[in-house]
């Protein structure tokens, strides 16, 4: 039997409908829209698409967006100055610095400049630390979307064996922490992991964030598993996941497509974080 498709677009639409209602309520009570500042430095084509999509999604949900396009060769101090100005701006509730930054910028230093209260990407050390400690925080969007997608299957997470491939600060590590918080038993795999297929074949929940086209094959998946494909690999204008979809669909119980799985949920969680920050910022 073929795996059930986990439809990230449909789930996003449902959550965004609620976000629109919450954004309208915020506007009525505060006399202004919740605001998200998006900074894109340089001219990376994929980043331009992501930023366009994020700005469009804000508009659709009644969140005001402020877009900034500083040149990629401007000094880092200028970018940090822009962020500090936005930190102090009462109309800006969230600040997103689109990554990757052009060469020459120190990403950790730039991300540290974003006020933790406006850090809607959840990349600031304060938010990362609070996530680890189980405290309320602005959590990173992609792994938050991953957890929502898993929950949308209706299958309980508690007690399940979850395997996350990838240990980046923006996807793999926070996804593992969030699944642990949901009481899964979590294994994190990376490029030095030995006998990866044996581990992935033990996973009731498999989250793949490797960044390699069709890296996970059907024979690496446990029959009936929930497979969440975070990968976004562009080749000749086409988007591929980290999972070989056709093979995986014959083995898994539930699977996300690429595109149309994790991608739309990432933006939806960004909108949710913006409203959460707005409610707190007043």
Q: Which residues participate in catalysis according to the annotation? A: 54, 98, 121
Which is nearest to 150 in space by CA: 261, 260, 246? 261
Which residues are CB-contacts of 167 (< 8 A; sequence separation ≥ 6)? 173, 176, 188, 189, 190
Q: Which is nearer to ligand NAP, 79 or 164 (CB)?
A: 164
Assess contact for 205 and 157: CB atoms under 8 A: yes
Assess contact for 137 and 131: CB atoms under 8 A: yes
CB of 165 to ligand NAP, least distance (A): 5
C-alpha 62/C-alpha 35 separation (Å) is: 9
Assess contact for 115 and 95: CB atoms under 8 A: yes
Q: Which is nearer to ligand NAP, 36 or 82 (CB)?
A: 36
Q: Which is nearer to ligand NAP, 57 or 82 (CB)?
A: 57
Q: Which is nearer to ligand NAP, 180 or 239 (CB)?
A: 239
Q: Which is nearer to ligand NAP, 82 or 269 (CB)?
A: 269
CB of 215 to ligand NAP, least distance (A): 7
CB of 48 to ligand NAP, least distance (A): 15
Which is nearest to 97 in space by CA: 74, 69, 125, 126? 69
Token code pair at residue 102: 């052009």
Distances (CA, A) of 262 to 256, 265, 266: 7, 5, 6
CB of 101 to ligand NAP, least distance (A): 14
Report the DSSP beta bridge partners of residue 231.
Answer: none
CB of 6 to ligand NAP, least distance (A): 13
Q: What's the distance, CA 99 to chain centroid?
A: 12
Binding site for ligand NAP (CB under 6 A): 142, 165-168, 170-172, 189-193, 196, 209-211, 230-233, 262-263, 266
C-alpha 231/C-alpha 105 separation (Å) is: 25
Which is nearest to 38 in space by CA: 58, 24, 12? 58
């Amino acid at each position: 039997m073929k795996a059930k498709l986990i439809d990230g677009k449909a789930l996003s639409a449902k959550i965004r409908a609620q976000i629109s209602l919450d954004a309208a309520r915020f506007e009525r009570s505060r006399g202004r829209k919740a605001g998200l500042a998006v900074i894109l430095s340089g001219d990376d084509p994929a980043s331009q698409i992501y930023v366009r999509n994020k700005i469009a999604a804000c508009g659709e949900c009644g969140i005001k967006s402020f877009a900034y396009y500083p040149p990629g060769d401007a000094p880092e101090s200028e970018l940090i100055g822009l962020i500090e100005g936005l930190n102090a701006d009462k109309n800006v509730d969230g600040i997103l610095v689109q990554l990757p930054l052009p060469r020459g910028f120190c990403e950790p230093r730039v991300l540290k400049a974003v006020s933790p209260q406006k850090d809607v990407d959840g990349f600031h050390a304060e938010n990362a630390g609070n996530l680890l400690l189980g405290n309320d925080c602005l959590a990173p969007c992609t792994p938050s979307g991953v957890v929502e997608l898993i929950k949308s299957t209706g299958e309980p997470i508690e007690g399940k064996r979850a395997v996350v491939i990838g240990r980046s600060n923006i996807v793999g590590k926070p996804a593992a922490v969030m699944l642990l918080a949901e009481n899964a038993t979590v294994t994190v795999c990376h490029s030095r992991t030995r006998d990866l297929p044996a581990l992935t074949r033990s996973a009731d929940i498999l989250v793949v964030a490797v960044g390699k086209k069709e890296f996970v094959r059907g024979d690496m998946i446990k029959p009936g598993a929930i497979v969440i494909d975070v990968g976004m690999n562009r080749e000749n204008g086409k988007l591929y996941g980290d999972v070989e979809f056709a093979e995986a669909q014959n083995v898994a119980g539930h699977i996300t497509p690429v595109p149309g799985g994790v991608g739309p949920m990432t933006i939806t969680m960004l909108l949710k974080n913006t409203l959460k920050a707005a409610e707190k910022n007043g």
